[in-house]
Amino acid sequence: MKKHPLAKEILFTDKQIQERTIEVAQEIKAFYEKTPNETNNSLLVIGLLKGCIPFYQTFCMNFDYEMEMDFMVISSYLGGTKSNGEPKINLDVNSPIKDRDILIVEDIIESGVTLEYVKKYLLNKGAKSVKILTMLDKPTERKVDIHADWTCFSIEKHFVIGFGLDYQEKLRNLPYVAICDTDKLADWKW
């Protein structure tokens, strides 16, 4: 695996992410098998685009449970390394929400502002329950009281890239999660 020049340190390899995602998928399956929804036994799994794509695909392909897939686009970043803290729905779910159990799949939780906004939005539309799965959690960055129901990895305060995580829409396709060498960003030439 060739390391990108902006990757200061690889935190999690593709193999580590795959293995942990399989474990979490089994935990989530066991949870929903214990608490089936009498109204609709199909779980609605909503990915928050674009960052979730590699993790979402990995999770869904290893999640042996009746489910439907849908997506939302919520903007809170303006191309930099920090959220602007004001979420906006750019693309809403197309699936019915009322009386559904929903699992949000996210690439990373930092401030939690976006997830809090989306969770309240889905509950206000009549969701029976809204649970959260995240690949990465950065609890030291939290600005609101929201927590993932399932987390693959917790990380320290680093700007990370790869496996869906980007810098100015680039580097999402790296097959690992790495700490970005932010010292190089000021004069980086694509």
Domain holding 94: CATH number? 3.40.50.2020
Within a domain: 56: yes
For β-strands 7-13 and 176-180, DSSP reports them as antiparallel
pLDDT of residue 35: 80
Within a domain: 55: yes
Within a domain: 190: no
As for how many domains the chain has, the answer is 1
Helices (H), 52-133: 53-61, 113-124
Within a domain: 37: no
Cis peptide before 143 (omega within 30 of 0): no
Within a domain: 63: yes
Q: What is the CA radius of gyration of the chain?
A: 17
Q: What is the chain's pLDDT, residue by residue, as a tens digit (190 residues)?
A: 689 999 999 999 999 999 999 999 999 999 999 986 666 668 999 999 999 999 999 999 999 999 999 999 998 755 555 555 578 899 999 999 999 999 999 999 999 999 999 999 999 999 999 999 999 999 999 999 999 999 999 999 999 999 999 999 999 999 999 999 999 998 888 8
Dist. CA 179–CA 182, nearest whole Å = 9
Within a domain: 187: no
Residue 120 belongs to domain spanning: 7-31+43-74+87-181
